[in-house]
């Protein structure tokens, strides 16, 4: 009995070792941990992929340098491009640590379908990775170094977390994009990343630009010594957003501001930061959005932050059940929120209830106007239901009717809706003082 | 240690197990029943149910649960009528020996199919996302080696270990549910009736196949402690309820996170849910932790089914001990599980099984109970093999 158990145990151990794949083991040093992935369409119509992988330091004292390796390659498809990048790497590229996915505008406008297919199939890819779209060259975005995070992918990761707080860009993840593309009543809205100059007050030189002679001690080690990943290193390999001038200017910083508006998987255009903030409010995805309100009759300005906000759709009753019944149907976007006064650049003190009521009305009216502008962009300019109104209707219509009659023509139907915002914002807090400090002569 | 006289209950028990009488407790029966219902099915149940019932797939689970409760009570009534007999012995007593052997054989086949399909599903769930370069045969080999060893030890050790792991797994699922709340959109469950009442019923019948696996306990329920046997129907119903709650959570949170269109195309929705949750940036990629735990209950469930299969097959063949069958049966079932050459073939086999097995699970105990009542077999009726009676 004991002997049998021992034999069985040995068999189990042998099989377990075989299962672990020790025969083709990979040391951690031979694994390239990809932090960022970029995808764009080259001018020749081929797909260009970039990968930015971290180079872990052997010494703990050097870990803050966060060196990275940036490479790119082209392919006929997304997967082929990614595979071709892998062929340039001495390490096995591992996608499980991807923080940010940067998509070029050209690729976004031609459709994300092929990219989403690859992301959904690759088991190791993080569904919570951030997704951004950029009109700037992808390699320049990935080449940005910041004192806060020298790897651009990590920098974008930090910015996205902050962007959600400030309501300047949607917190778009691979999961949210895939979920939105699969529902006719939802449309993806992806954060916009763009390059902006950033100056260092200490050195009076752009951040990241090092004194001459010292050379770079960290940051992307570009593949083949060419700027912009492998873009310039391949004959005719310059992608749509990686031309010969794709040297990443170290003076650049990345700013997340606004969003890319999609219809299904195709990008239709850009949303301004204000439109994006309003969209986040309507979709109850906003953080602490701040804006300046001009007081009537030139009495100055008041800056407020929306602390809490709840938006809902008042759908027509009964719910239309045919395309024709939808035409001209009235939908009210009802918004209730509380605001905090952050700055008062005015002689007004808003100490009486009447003054507060007037301010509430003014703030509400301003938000309503901005939402009307968003609705106009959504209905007239791009013709895509960015507000997610279709999803609200879908939840109240039978599945068969929605799938058969409404969903295939939803964008057309959406443009005919009469959408009216109705906001009610109320000042709840005014900071640690009830009045502005008054300098005396 | 062959037993020859076969008169004493304990000895008769030993005849089929080959060693001292095994005893499983009330709580262990609850856990085994719950495990049979959800341990392997929950990985892919959402993919099976959402194309049928749409966003109301979770209601189909409730409908299927009601059918499961009915099966639990019917099976419970049958067990209380024949508390000391296995399913093969019950069939022989109720339908005469030749017909009983045929029914016993069908039961062993049913268990074998469950084992082949569920083990394949779980092996694929590990191989596809995590062990991509490891041959499926190796993963399957380890899986079946462990199953064979567990079966060799008997049902009592399986039940004991299940009690330990099940608690941990339930806690892991509760934790997963908690982590999934922030990324869930409850509106995706609307419209409430999804594709309509008939679609929900069809989904419920599919889910009934999962809960129907409960009848596997008929092979070893005579090992339940004697004083608990009167509450066996409550134990089975409790197991069905716990398993179904876990299944409903898995399906509904999958729907709330991804919507029913995405759920219908995912290979293993439960694994996908685990991939999408995390605690900020502190605890990421938790799916491997969850899968390791789920693997343990899948293993224990499969071991339970394995035991039921070989024990029933041994009785059909009039063997005094099931153990000589363990190795050949393990090799046979492993080969059977490897028959589907790709995942679509595997899903297709699963689809056929789910379509029909619910009826077998409902029909077998119902038929046996009805015929037993008509023929006055079992229980306190005359002529039947009563509680504690011998063959």
**Which among A8, A127, A396 has CB closest to B191?**
A396
Cβ neighbors of B108 (< 8 A, separation 6 or more) are B309, B312, B313, B316
Instruction: Assess contact for A176 and A129: CB atoms under 8 A.
Output: no
* Nearest residue to A276 (alpha-carbon basis) of A292, A289, A263: A289
> How would DSSP label each residue in A230-297?
TGGGSTT--BTTB-TT----TTEEEEEEEEEEEETTEEEEEE-HHHHHHHHHHTT-----EEEEEPGG
Instruction: Assess contact for A148 and A155: CB atoms under 8 A.
Output: yes
How far off is chain A from B190, nearest CA to CA, in Å?
Answer: 5
Residues of chain B with pLDDT under 70: 1-20, 278-283, 380-391
Interface contact B192, partner A, CB < 8 A = no
How far off is chain A from B207, nearest CA to CA, in Å?
Answer: 21
Q: Are strands A220-222 and A47-55 parallel, antiparallel or unpaired?
A: unpaired
Cβ neighbors of B390 (< 8 A, separation 6 or more) are B6, B7, B8, B9, B12
Cβ neighbors of A198 (< 8 A, separation 6 or more) are A146, A206, A207, A251, A252, A253
Q: How far is CA B80 from the centre of its chain?
A: 21
Q: Are strands A31-41 and A47-55 parallel, antiparallel or unpaired?
A: antiparallel
CB contact under 8 A, B142 and A15: yes
Residues of chain A with C-beta less than 8 angstroms from the C-beta of B130: 123
pLDDT in tens, chain A (441 residues): 678 788 878 877 776 676 665 566 667 778 889 999 999 999 999 999 999 998 876 666 655 556 789 999 999 999 999 999 999 988 888 888 899 999 999 999 999 999 999 998 887 888 889 999 999 999 999 999 887 787 899 999 999 988 777 778 999 999 889 988 988 788 999 999 999 987 655 544 443 333 343 333 344 444 433 333 333 333 333 333 333 334 444 578 999 999 999 999 999 999 999 999 999 999 998 778 889 999 988 889 999 999 889 999 999 988 888 888 888 899 999 999 999 999 988 888 887 889 899 999 999 999 999 999 999 999 999 999 999 999 999 999 988 889 899 999 998 999 999 999 999 999 988 777 777 787 887
Residue B249 parent element (H or E): helix B232-265
**Which among A21, A175, A400 has CB closest to B131?**
A21
**Which among B133, B183, B285 has CB closest to A96?**
B285
Neighbours of B64 (CB within 10 A): 30
Angle at A388 between CA A384 and CA A391, to 5 degrees: 115
* Complex ipTM more than 0.90, yes or no: no
Q: Which pLDDT belongs to residue B369? A: 95
Q: Which of A17, A124, A179, A181 to mutate to test the interface with B (most CBs of B within 10 A)?
A: A179
Interface contact A14, partner B, CB < 8 A = no
Instruction: Assess contact for B46 and B250: CB atoms under 8 A.
Output: yes
**Which among B134, B261, B275 has CB closest to A21?**
B134
Interface contact B41, partner A, CB < 8 A = no
Give Cα separations from B76 to A200, A338, B41, B309, B386 (angstroms).
77, 59, 23, 20, 15
Interface contact B391, partner A, CB < 8 A = no
**Which among B134, B194, B275 has CB closest to A127?**
B275
Interface contact A283, partner B, CB < 8 A = no
How far off is chain B from A324, nearest CA to CA, in Å?
Answer: 21
Whole-model pTM? 0.81
Q: Which pLDDT belongs to residue B4? A: 39
CB contact under 8 A, A24 and B191: no
* Nearest residue to A189 (alpha-carbon basis) of A179, A197, A204, A198: A179
Q: How far is CA A238 from the centre of its chain?
A: 25
How far off is chain B from A85, nearest CA to CA, in Å?
Answer: 21
- Of all residues in chain B, the one with the smallest CA distance to A96 is B285
Listed by number, the residues of chain B in 70-129 with a beta carbon closer than 8 Å to a beta carbon of chain A are 128-129
Give Cα separations from B266 to B129, B131, B258, B263, B303 (angstroms).
12, 18, 10, 5, 27
């Amino acid at each position: 009995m004991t002997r049998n158990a021992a034999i069985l145990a040995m068999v189990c151990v042998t099989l377990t070792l075989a299962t672990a794949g020790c025969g083709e083991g990979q040391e951690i040093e031979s694994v390239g941990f990809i932090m960022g992935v970029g995808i764009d369409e080259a001018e020749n119509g081929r797909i260009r992929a970039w990968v930015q992988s971290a180079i872990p330091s052997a010494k703990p004292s050097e870990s803050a340098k966060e060196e990275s390796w940036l490479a790119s390659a082209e392919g006929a498809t997304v997967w082929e491009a990614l595979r071709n990048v892998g062929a340039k790497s001495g390490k096995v590229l591992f996608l499980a640590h991807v923080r940010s996915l940067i998509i070029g505008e050209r690729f976004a406008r031609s459709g994300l379908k092929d990219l989403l297919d690859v992301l959904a199939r690759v088991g190791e890819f993080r569904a919570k990775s951030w997704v951004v779209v950029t009109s700037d060259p992808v390699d320049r975005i990935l080449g940005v170094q910041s004192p806060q995070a020298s790897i651009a992918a990590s920098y974008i990761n930090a910015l996205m977390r902050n962007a959600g707080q400030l309501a300047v860009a949607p917190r778009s993840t691979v999961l949210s994009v895939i979920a939105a593309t699969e529902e006719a009543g939802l449309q993806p809205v992806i954060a916009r990343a763009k390059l902006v100059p950033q100056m260092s007050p200490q050195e009076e030189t752009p951040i990241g630009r090092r004194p001459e002679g010292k050379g770079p001690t960290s940051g992307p080690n570009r593949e083949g010594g060419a700027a912009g990943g492998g873009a310039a290193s391949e004959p005719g390999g310059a992608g749509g957003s990686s031309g010969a001038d794709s040297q990443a200017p170290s003076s650049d910083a990345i700013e997340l501001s606004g969003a890319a508006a999609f219809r299904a998987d195709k990008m239709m255009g850009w949303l301004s930061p204000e439109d994006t903030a309003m969209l986040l409010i309507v979709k109850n995805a906003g953080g602490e959005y701040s804006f300046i309100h001009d007081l009537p009759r030139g009495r100055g300005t008041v800056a407020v932050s929306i602390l809490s906000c709840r938006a809902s759709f008042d759908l027509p009753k009964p719910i239309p059940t045919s395309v024709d019944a939808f035409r001209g149907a009235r939908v009210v976007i009802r918004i209730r929120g509380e605001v905090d006064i952050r700055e008062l650049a005015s002689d007004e003190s808003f100490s009486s209830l009447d003054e507060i009521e007037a301010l509430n009305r003014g703030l509400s009216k301003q938000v309503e106007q901005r939402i009307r502008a968003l609705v106009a962009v959504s209905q007239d300019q791009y013709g895509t239901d960015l507000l997610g109104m279709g999803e609200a209707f879908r939840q109240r219509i039978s599945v068969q009717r929605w799938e058969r009659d409404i969903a295939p023509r939803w964008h057309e139907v959406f443009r005919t809706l009469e959408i009216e915002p109705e906001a009610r914002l109320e000042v709840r807090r005014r900071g640690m003082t009830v009045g502005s400090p008054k300098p005396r002569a | 240690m062959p037993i020859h006289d076969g008169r004493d209950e304990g000895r008769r028990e030993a005849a089929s197990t080959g060693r001292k009488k095994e005893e499983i407790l009330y709580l262990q029966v609850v856990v085994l029943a719950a495990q049979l219902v959800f341990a392997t099915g929950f990985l892919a149940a959402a993919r099976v149910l959402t194309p049928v019932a749409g966003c109301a797939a979770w209601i189909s689970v409730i409908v299927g649960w009601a059918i499961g409760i009915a099966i639990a009570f019917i099976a419970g009534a049958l067990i209380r009528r024949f508390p000391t007999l296995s399913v093969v012995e019950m069939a022989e007593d109720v339908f005469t020996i030749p017909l009983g052997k045929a029914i016993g054989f069908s039961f062993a086949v049913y268990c074998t199919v469950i084992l082949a399909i569920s083990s394949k599903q779980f092996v694929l769930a590990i191989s596809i996302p995590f062990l991509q370069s490891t041959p499926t045969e190796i993963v399957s080999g380890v899986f079946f080696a462990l199953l064979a060893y567990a079966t060799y030890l008997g049902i009592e050790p399986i039940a004991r270990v299940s009690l330990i792991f099940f608690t941990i797994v339930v806690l892991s699922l509760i934790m997963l549910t908690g982590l999934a709340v922030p990324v869930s959109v409850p509106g995706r469950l609307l419209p409430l009736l999804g594709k309509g009442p008939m679609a929900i019923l069809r989904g419920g019948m599919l889910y009934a196949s999962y809960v129907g696996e409960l009848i596997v306990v008929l092979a070893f329920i005579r090992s339940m402690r004697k004083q608990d046997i009167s509450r066996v129907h409550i134990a089975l119903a409790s197991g069905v309820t716990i398993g179904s709650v876990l299944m409903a959570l898995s399906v509904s949170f999958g729907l709330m996170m991804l919507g029913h269109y995405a759920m219908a195309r995912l290979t293993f929705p439960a694994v996908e849910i685990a991939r999408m949750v995390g605690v900020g940036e502190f605890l990421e990629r938790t799916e491997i932790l969850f899968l390791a735990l789920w693997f343990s209950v899948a293993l224990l469930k499969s071991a339970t089914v394995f035991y039921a299969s070989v024990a029933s097959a041994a009785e059909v063949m009039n063997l005094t001990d099931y153990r000589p069958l363990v190795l050949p049966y393990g090799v046979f079932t492993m080969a059977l599980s490897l028959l589907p050459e790709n995942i679509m073939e595997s899903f297709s086999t699963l689809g056929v099984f789910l379509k029909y097995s619910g009826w077998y699970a409902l029909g077998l105990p119902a038929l046996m109970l009805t015929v037993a009542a008509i023929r006055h077999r079992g229980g306190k009726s005359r002529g039947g093999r009563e509680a504690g009676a011998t063959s």
